[in-house]
Chain A
Amino acid sequence: MKRGATISGRPELRTSYRADMALLNSRPKRLGAGVILAAALAAPFLITDALLAIAALACAAAIGAIGLNLVSGYAGQVSLGHAFFIGAGAFTAAALTGDPGESVYGLGLQWIVAVPAAGLVAAVLGFLVSPIASRFRGLYLAIATLGLVFLGEHILDNWRSLTGGAGAGRRGVIAEIGGVRLDQPTEVAGLVLTTSQQLYLLALVLLVVLAVLARNLARSAVGRAFEAIRDRDIAAEVMGVRLGRHKMIAFTLSSFYAGVSGAVYYTVINQINPESFNLLLSVQFIAMVLIGGIATISGSIMGAFFITFLPRITRELPAIVPFLTAEPTLRDGALLTVFQLEAILYGVLIVGFLILEPRGLYGLWVRVRNYWKGWPFTY
């Protein structure tokens, strides 16, 4: 039938190593990426502002998930401390952009300065913590980084001049670029952009840039060294991989991504509470990585969108499912609240993916792709 297409469309036939090593090394990949990017750019004009705000949060979360995937998925250094670095970034950006003269620190700086600074502050903290990773492995590292979350929570709860203190919190990150307040509607070239549209586009651009950078790292000698350390650290070292140095790079970069993620997330949400940066937040990021797919950048993004949109979906369910309630407490014969359902779903999804598809959503996608590649043959 379509003979011509199968001959000219041999995606694996490449004439140079350079073409083979390109980021998008086949026509379907280039096409797919183009379509997704076009859809993402068109989204602000197609979906409601409420959904767009969630998508902006998902972009922010995806940046953090990519960071966690670098250190835990690629380099295999399980970290429960990701929430700590997210928090460090969020409060750094909030303090840098905050109004001077309020009860909490505020320097009134531009967003465009504050976001990289938030990444850098988190990166420095990650760098300082990285020697822990050289000392401990596996479960011990997980426990050591767990300590970090508790320590961070304690500091944030009590550092009132920065965070507003437990129970009070402070205003989120203010998005001001060149005198334009993006948290208010602005007119660009005769087109009025709403807050959600602006913040979503901002988050999307950052996500795309940071994702490409991470993908480049992953396919480089550094990324290979990460994976070698994850799979067999002694063999890796015998092959010339510097363990300590690469763990340091992984932790520092991961923390940078976390810092940026926190800053962007709390640009969309305009209230930060110090209690937010707890173990549950770390677990949510782990869920994004596990569900999205270990050691894949696109998987991190899928996982982040999935986890971020999950509450939005479960909150619609009580209308359809009789025994669910959207109220925080059980009444009128309901068996579950949506919040309980979410908690259960996290657990079920993590365990389910670990058992059934360890490569996560990315793995599911690969299966679907391979199925259609081989169609109509089933082997």
Chain B
Amino acid sequence: MDLGNNEMFLSNDMLHEKQGHNSLIEDNIITSINNSRRGSLVTQDSEFELDDALLTGSDLDYDYEDELDDMIVLPITNAKRKQINEGGVPNLEYECLTTKDIFNRMLERVNHLQPIFSLPLEDIIILMQHYDWNEERLLEKWTDKMDDLLTEIGLIHENGNLTVNERGVALKEDFECGICCEVKSVEVFSLECGHEYCIECYRRYIQGRLHSGNIITCMGCSVALKNEDIDEIMGYESSNKLMYSSIKSFVSKHHRNYKWCPYTDCKCIIHLDDTSSLSEYSRLHYSPFVKCNALHRFCFSCGFEIHAPADCDITNAWIKKARKESENLNWVLSNTKECPKCSVNIEKDGGCNHMVCSSCKYEFCWICEGEWAPHGKSFYQCTLYKNEDGKYNKSSSQEANKLMKKYTFYYRMFNEHEVSAKLDWKLGQTVGIKVKSLQEKIGVSWIEGQFLAESLRTLNEGRTALKWSFAVAFYSDPSHNLTKIFVDNQALLSKAVEDLSELLQIKDPELIMRRKPDFYNKAGYVQNRTNALMECGRDLLCKGICKLTD
């Protein structure tokens, strides 16, 4: 696996984005989330909240965790958490835009500027494009040296004004084109400069430049092509491509206020006008997570996927380390493993780490390959890194070795959850089919079947938090009591996530409907555990128990 590739740090959401925007499943999920966020329409929403409340109040109603909660201390309750959220950091006021939105705003500005320039709109667009849509810079230059500017940008021909030749397309007999050297009767395009070339050559020329965002000039000199020329040559609205690519370069030049959604193929841009509160976020070890219109959540500061409980510093250090160490690490990251008992190859078909050998029925853990029984019964033991203190002399190579071993463990956990998340997403693609079969086979309404999609979303969020929690754990002082609590919290979320993931693998529609309450309970529980883990992680950061050493 190439660790240099950012994509490996992208979650399942991003993976699914690659499948394209038109999938029914995705749309369903988005709709369902939209509905639940707005708090309108759906009953599931309230059911979720009910479960939340139930779970926070008394977990004892659910047999699968009654023995667990005695063992951990919830670091911060939900109510307390909200307080910090509201009191600690100001809300970020941002908007989600597309290149088209931004371009339309620029057009408004161009309209607004027209009286100042008394030039055609098309020309002002060229001027703005030349100055990266920076109005102030343009106006400054404009008052200084108007004519020089117009010549430089190609709105006035060097020989003075531009009315010598006619602009546009004309049909010519036996025309010899200087570019392709063909002699033919063909449509020819020229600007006022009089440089004529066949329209086919112009098309190929423009095609290669539409994505550059730069002003396109005559092939023979510096006279600029305006949007209407481009549209005349390339077809209706072709110049939009050029305008959008120009806006893209505007966005990258203003990356303090504008950030591309990092999810593959997502075209959203988050615009944050007032960045003054970002420092407050980092001081309190919160990360400024934003959500694009396609519901992708990412960090506005570092541009990565949502990475709580880790803050940006931990995230960046972790990613750097992963890149550095990748050459030293060599794990088999395939989706198949041999059964530890009978060596039959078993394929992992979802994110669930509870494996059952198809041949000998041996149940084991995907991550540690140990027997499953202790994992399932108490809690997910696998998360606990067993420190082998005291056994070694503290010689430096052994020390380094130990460090490497520690890192390897945490990285492996991180990676396993990433792989699991991707597999969960594959599993999630069957959710739409399941919902459909619920509709067809037992007449469940579409909206009623949405609890599946909701559960999947919750699972994703839980996994992502779990994944990043290993970065936090790696940098935390293992002897501190709060770290131990954090590890316990990881274990609880792991267990909750595995349970939910297992539930999502049920294929029989009737069984799914019968177990609907289970979905709510387990998803609600995952949500709770996710929040608790995030808060505990932030506590570690705030108290300096989790910190970067180098």
**A interacts with B:** no
Tell me the B residues contacting A by CB distance below 8 Å.
none
